Structure 1
Amino acid sequence: TMSLPSPHLVKLSAEQFQAKSFAQCTESMKKMLQTMKGKPIGSDIQHNYIISCFCSSNGKDPEKYLTALLKLNSQRSVDSEGVTEESCILLYNISLLEYNLKQYRTALSRLEPVFSSVENFSDFLAINVCFLLLDIYLVLGKQHCNVVQNASKVLAFLQSFSTLLKKTTGNAGNEKKGNKKGNNKNSSSESADPSRKGNENTPAIDAKEFKYHFHLYKAKFNLFNNVYNQATREIKCCMSVSNQSAHPMFLKSNLENLKENFDKSVKILNAIQDDKTDPTLPALYFNNIGCIHFQLKKYEAAGYYFARAIKENESIYDISAADGSKHREVRLGTFIRDRRMEILYNSGLLHLLSGKAEIAFECFQGSSLMYYKDPRLWLRIAECCVACHAKAIEEKRNSPRVSPIFVPSNMSPSSERGTTKIVLHTDPDVGISISESDAPENNVIFSGAPFGTLSLEYAEKCLRSCLYICRKILSEFPATNESESETFGLQVTKDELDTIRQAALTNLAYVSLATNNPKIAITCANNLLLSKQGDHSYSLFAHFYAAEAYCMLDAPGDALKHLPLQEFPTDLECPYFQQPYSASVRYSLLHNVVVTHILMRDFAQAQFCLAKALAACPSQLLPTAILLQAYLELQADRPEMALQLLQKGRPSPTTRVIGKHQD
């Protein structure tokens, strides 16, 4: 049997905790434990002591207290007599710490079973569990397939409290009391339903605060599901309850941003820029302003705002001392308020589209601790590797050295890239098909930051991870009809996942060609051609890469099947780039057709295709066309014409620094 503590110390420590005198409460708890030294101590007393120490430390070293609570929970599991309110409170506190430490899935796995039985316990616990669950669902929405259904159940459960609160009076004026469960931001309640348990010793309901948070969560999930009209109504309800809070204003700005009313969105953000009530607001403000400028294609301004957002985000770790000085300190609240990962991802995307792949790579690497289960992250990291490779090849191609006949390969849809492939016999490479066994193991994909290098080998690993995650997410989609298959309430829809998959296959085909793996490139191209949905440009890339791969395998006949001249559009459009890139793509396609006919020694058809290629040839690619034309002139035994062409297209030599370290 457990020993009973001193009633006086129990009452004193409870009063001190409710008065937020946490240091004094901890001392009282220590005295209580000393009086019980050598006797069995109940888990509730141990629990309260851990929470008291945590609060008296101002949230420092949260991992230490999480470990203590987990140890206590394991002891309770051994001696468990069933699910009790005390055990649910312990699980809630553990989940709350894990949520603040951004261990979202672990917190969710603990909290969902608590919610299934929370109706049997106090409303104080029920409301806190519901609000914390909603926070986790919002964070995990991109990866958690049942977020809409589960969140709807939680909101419906909270709706019953909202209805009961309208029928009760006097609760809003009650003094708010503390709780030894931790300091969750959401207020909790005295039981609004007399039939429910926990009426006597639970904290009072603040009806106004409950209503504010309830409508705030409803507004967030309506925005999450793109239900703009209902989101507008819920935001108005929040502002009618508390017009001093900046959070509804942020939601209102996001709503206008989703409607593409960018000027109005910026105006709303500027109205709350000077709000000093929340230290996280400056970082959120600059991040959101940066996102708006990014959508307006004002990339330089967006880069400035993202840099400011990162700087402001670092300030949440600055703690002011009594003497006015500041020092850096990590507390529990700073973890959950830290938006560095989100801002880094936004910055990475901006730099990638601006042609700064090296900087983008570093940003994506930094954000991988949060987004490692998002297939888009792996696709973006791979695109950085491919962009750097293509840039190096482009620089090599622009060198003054004369190259043999080559085929410019098209660019994958991430950044402006162009490279060259020599269409000559290569040693056959043992290609492999893309199957489940090709993807890295779960612990490799989901183990956190990848810490890779800017190389094509690493790009291949990232692309396989992307494809694996896409398949895994698609397999978890519930069976539904066609009209429901568009959203599922996810930030990554089924159609978007298919687009991500096609982009990954396109990049993987490119990487396979660049690393002399034509069989893998053919497999990727065939998978792309099997896709019934998606942009037409992906099919174009598939034909392009398949033709090049077959040429590498000395199969020009198969290559020509992917390059039928009559199917080439006269005005090729590439949705990922602006002109004159479309002209470069069309020329590259025609160029490959010419080389393929040359390999088959069909010089007449090659000359015919070359005439069409010259009509679409951009000025920067003219030397490659001249080389082909000169080759055909030599094959036709017209060396004088070939000489004239080569003299006409002779490149100017560049200045080179010659030093002792240079070969």
Structure 2
Amino acid sequence: MDFAETTRTQNEDENYSLLCKAHEQFNNNEYDRCLELLQQLESKGENSRPILRHNTAVVNYYKSGCTQHATLLQDLEELVLDVKPIPGSGSVASGTEGVTVGLSLKHGGGGSAATVARYNKAVIYYHRHMYATALEKLAPLVGRMEALEKTILALVATLQLQLLLATNQLNRAEAFLDHLQYKLNLVSSAPTIEATAAAATVGSSDPVVARVGNEGSKGTSLQLLQLLTHVLNRKPVLITEDGSPEYAALKAQQYYIMKDFQMAAKQLMRINNECTQSGTITPHLSTCIANNMGVIHLRVRHYAIAAKFFQNALNFDKQLAFNLRQRTLQTMSSAHSCEILYNLGIAMLHLRRAKEAFQCFLVPIKQYHSNPRLWLRMAEACIMQHEAKVQEEERQFLPANEHNARKKQYAPQSAAVPELTLEFAALCLRNALSLTLHYKANFHVVVLSEDSPEQKSDLDQQSWRHLQDNNFCNPSKPISIESLENMLAAIYAAHSYVSLRLEDYVTALEMAQQMLHCERLSDAHKLLAHMYAAEALMRMHKPTEARDHLDPSFVGTLNAFDLETRDWQLKSLDAAQNVVRYNLAVVMAMQKDYPKAKTLLSTLTHAVVSPKALTLRRHIDTYSAYPAPN
């Protein structure tokens, strides 16, 4: 009995020594020698050990240049299915990024292999931008973090926090950070400053800020992610730069959130200059800097400059995305074409370049098809293109029959085909409306507890998994209830307009009426709602009902600032008043109340309506010259 025990102990020591040597060869990039040592273990009857299967798969992956991730993923899937993890078992793992090689020769080591395999699967999905799948694969490990060993615990916690930030789950990330700090004692508290950071206003077209530095790199530590989480949640923190681009970029992002756009731009340019001089500039770093410079210029309404930066960012990103299937996982995670095209499309809309904007949105819509804001932007590009065609036809004074022929040229085209047509705009707006109403019904409102701060803090730490973020507009950050209502009003307005142009007057009236019932409705949208409702009723030969929406007195109560700050033709109360009066004159003419219509038309002097008012006056004079039939 004693002899058997001694022999088993000596064999385990020899096996563990071989594993340690294999690990050393792996760290020295000697993958062939590492595989030889693992094969020696197999020849000694250790081939049934799941840890050997795992390590062999990982070494073969690195030997291939870290490009055969599909094969590695398949091996890991088979390993997890074959091995039932043992609750509470841990593993000793090496490395802090990418795919990890586990080293363990404990009894019950199968549980350790399954733990590391699950982590590696989540890493692969993270680098492939499949964040929801990565969260799902990592969930079993996150659910039992208290039972994991310190090394693998740090890896799991870091990846989980990265995934929460990548999916814009900022509230959950903050609560998860507290859980790591107070329950697991894994991170230290970040230094705070007394001054409170100013909150940045979230617009209806929220650009995407890319973070400098590869989030899967060794430079990404829990401490850096802790600071990033606090910054994104607008918590006052003191960021001390250590000379790395990651901390310098975090400082730039803090300036941006505090609306100090000039300092944010200076910080980014300093990073670019220092890295260029030191020779450490990379395509990924250049991509992030160019994109973020574009976002800054977009916020200060320098749209042409912003578009130029976004185009530069795309050029840098192409160097990363070229032949992506043959690139490493880290290179895959560094490619951000979808996010950059999302930003470029917004800039092109502001520049009234509808075709370019539409083409930009076609790429991100494939990945972010549940984003109602993106569907709205595509519809706006279609509307903008339609308005440009109408204006061009009016300038060329096309005959009525030719104008109608051009108007119907899209009729045979299916509405499901992505084209710059009003039919496709209607489809986009239906998608946007359905998604927004669904998200509004499930909108999470934070209810402040009346419990003591200690009880509330303890409750928050216990229930971090149950927290919700209104992050349904990915890749842009979570949306507020005010932005949600503004977006809903914009969707109703666009839907009503498109329905009018497609001669669907019932839908146009319904959308205008729904817009009037929106909460927090801006004065500009209130004006549009009444105008569209009136036009729909006039087209439906209901002038009396249309007249109720065209009371000129309500325009005088509108907020002039709300009109002047919008990118549309009506930039003053005077222009809005003239438009309402003109439409009211049209209704009066339809009711054959010619004297009142002519009196109203004589007061219209604004350039927006004066040509049309003159034409209407001529028609009224023509019709009023003939007696009405008995």
State the TM-score, normalized to the length of structure 1: 0.72
Q: Hey, what does 1:459 align to over in structure 2?
A: 425
Q: Hey, what does 2:437 align to over in structure 1?
A: 471
Q: In the alignment, is residue 593 of structure 1 matched against residue 584 of structure 2?
A: yes
Q: Hey, what does 1:156 align to over in structure 2?
A: 181
Q: Hey, what does 1:308 align to over in structure 2?
A: 312
Distance change (3 Å), C-alpha of 1:402 and 1:605: farther
Q: Which of residues 517, 527, 552 in structure 2 aligns to 1:540? A: 527
Distance change (3 Å), C-alpha of 1:161 and 1:146: closer
Q: Hey, what does 2:7 align to over in structure 1?
A: none
Aligned residue identity for 1:22? Y
* Paired residues, number: 530
Q: Which of residues 280, 283, 292 in structure 2 aligns to 1:288? A: 292
The correspondence of residues 48-59 of structure 1 with structure 2, limited to 5 A, is 48-59=55-66
Aligned residue identity for 2:260? N
Cα distance between partner residues in 2 of 1:401 and 1:156: 71
Cα distance between partner residues in 2 of 1:136 and 1:343: 20
Q: Hey, what does 2:350 align to over in structure 1?
A: 353
Distance change (3 Å), C-alpha of 1:627 and 1:152: same
Cα distance between partner residues in 1 of 2:620 and 2:221: 75
Q: Which of residues 616, 619, 627 in structure 1 aligns to 2:615? A: 627
Q: Hey, what does 2:227 align to over in structure 1?
A: 219
CA drift at 1:355: 0.7
Q: In the alignment, is residue 385 of structure 1 matched against residue 388 of structure 2?
A: no
CA drift at 1:8: 6.3
Contact 1:317 1:329 in 2 (8 A): no
Cα distance between partner residues in 2 of 1:50 and 1:471: 47
Contact 1:224 1:491 in 2 (8 A): no
Distance change (3 Å), C-alpha of 1:347 and 1:102: same
Distance change (3 Å), C-alpha of 1:107 and 1:278: farther
Distance change (3 Å), C-alpha of 1:337 and 1:161: same
User: Sequence identity of aligned pairs in percent?
Assistant: 23
What are the superposed Cα offsets for residues 97-124 of structure 1, whole Å, 9 maximum, x if unpaired? 0000000011112223321211111111
Q: Hey, what does 2:541 align to over in structure 1?
A: 554
Q: In the alignment, is residue 607 of structure 1 matched against residue 598 of structure 2?
A: yes
Q: In the alignment, is residue 575 of structure 1 matched against residue 565 of structure 2?
A: yes
The correspondence of residues 220-619 of structure 1 with structure 2, limited to 5 A, is 220-227=228-235, 229-230=236-237, 233=238, 235-236=239-240, 239=241, 243-274=242-273, 275=275, 276-277=279-280, 279=282, 280-316=284-320, 329-401=326-398, 452-481=418-447, 491-569=478-556, 573-577=563-567, 581-582=571-572, 585-612=576-603, 614-618=604-608
CA drift at 1:480: 3.4
Cα distance between partner residues in 2 of 1:453 and 1:35: 65
Distance change (3 Å), C-alpha of 1:626 and 1:31: farther
Q: Hey, what does 1:131 align to over in structure 2?
A: 158
Cα distance between partner residues in 1 of 2:167 and 2:613: 52
Question: SS at 2:146's partner residue?
Answer: helix
Cα distance between partner residues in 2 of 1:261 and 1:483: 34
What are the superposed Cα offsets for residues 51-88 of structure 1, whole Å, 9 maximum, x if unpaired? 11122222203233223322332333xx5555743233
Cα distance between partner residues in 1 of 2:175 and 2:498: 41
Contact 2:128 2:332 in 1 (8 A): yes
Aligned residue identity for 2:332? F
**Which is worse superposed, 545-554 or 92-101?**
545-554
**Which is worse superposed, 558-567 or 355-364?**
558-567
Question: SS at 1:273's partner residue?
Answer: helix
Q: Hey, what does 1:10 align to over in structure 2?
A: 19
Distance change (3 Å), C-alpha of 1:523 and 1:68: farther
Contact 1:127 1:158 in 2 (8 A): no
CA drift at 1:545: 0.9
Contact 1:73 1:90 in 2 (8 A): yes
Q: Which runs of 5+ in 1 are unaligned?
A: 165-182, 188-208, 320-326, 407-420, 422-449, 640-663
Q: Hey, what does 1:94 align to over in structure 2?
A: 121
Question: SS at 1:160's partner residue?
Answer: coil
Q: Hey, what does 1:171 align to over in structure 2?
A: none
CA drift at 1:475: 3.5
Cα distance between partner residues in 1 of 2:178 and 2:138: 14
Cα distance between partner residues in 2 of 1:314 and 1:451: 27
Q: Hey, what does 1:199 align to over in structure 2?
A: none
Q: Hey, what does 1:203 align to over in structure 2?
A: none
Contact 1:145 1:488 in 2 (8 A): no
Cα distance between partner residues in 1 of 2:512 and 2:518: 10
Distance change (3 Å), C-alpha of 1:579 and 1:466: closer
CA drift at 1:374: 2.4
Cα distance between partner residues in 2 of 1:113 and 1:596: 66
Q: Hey, what does 1:63 align to over in structure 2?
A: 70
Cα distance between partner residues in 2 of 1:365 and 1:309: 18
Distance change (3 Å), C-alpha of 1:282 and 1:519: same
CA drift at 1:259: 2.6
Question: SS at 1:569's partner residue?
Answer: helix
What are the superposed Cα offsets for residues 274-307 of structure 1, whole Å, 9 maximum, x if unpaired? 3143621111111122222222322222222211
**Which is worse superposed, 351-360 or 25-34?**
25-34
**Which is worse superposed, 545-554 or 354-363?**
545-554
Question: SS at 1:491's partner residue?
Answer: coil
Distance change (3 Å), C-alpha of 1:109 and 1:318: closer
Distance change (3 Å), C-alpha of 1:514 and 1:6: same
Aligned residue identity for 1:615? T
Distance change (3 Å), C-alpha of 1:11 and 1:249: closer
Contact 1:145 1:476 in 2 (8 A): no
Cα distance between partner residues in 1 of 2:52 and 2:468: 51
Distance change (3 Å), C-alpha of 1:146 and 1:328: closer
Distance change (3 Å), C-alpha of 1:213 and 1:11: closer
CA drift at 1:256: 1.7
Cα distance between partner residues in 2 of 1:629 and 1:570: 28
Distance change (3 Å), C-alpha of 1:50 and 1:474: farther
Distance change (3 Å), C-alpha of 1:62 and 1:40: closer
Q: Hey, what does 1:113 align to over in structure 2?
A: 140
CA drift at 1:148: 4.6
Aligned residue identity for 2:28? A
Question: SS at 2:221's partner residue?
Answer: helix
Aligned residue identity for 1:314? K
Cα distance between partner residues in 1 of 2:393 and 2:478: 41
Cα distance between partner residues in 2 of 1:48 and 1:486: 38
Cα distance between partner residues in 2 of 1:570 and 1:630: 32
Distance change (3 Å), C-alpha of 1:540 and 1:136: same
**Which is worse superposed, 373-382 or 477-486?**
477-486
Distance change (3 Å), C-alpha of 1:302 and 1:163: closer
Cα distance between partner residues in 2 of 1:217 and 1:260: 22
Q: Hey, what does 1:426 align to over in structure 2?
A: none
Aligned residue identity for 1:343? I
Distance change (3 Å), C-alpha of 1:290 and 1:185: closer
Q: Hey, what does 1:437 align to over in structure 2?
A: none
Cα distance between partner residues in 2 of 1:100 and 1:145: 20
CA drift at 1:371: 3.1
Aligned residue identity for 2:504? N
Q: Hey, what does 1:446 align to over in structure 2?
A: none
Question: SS at 1:516's partner residue?
Answer: coil
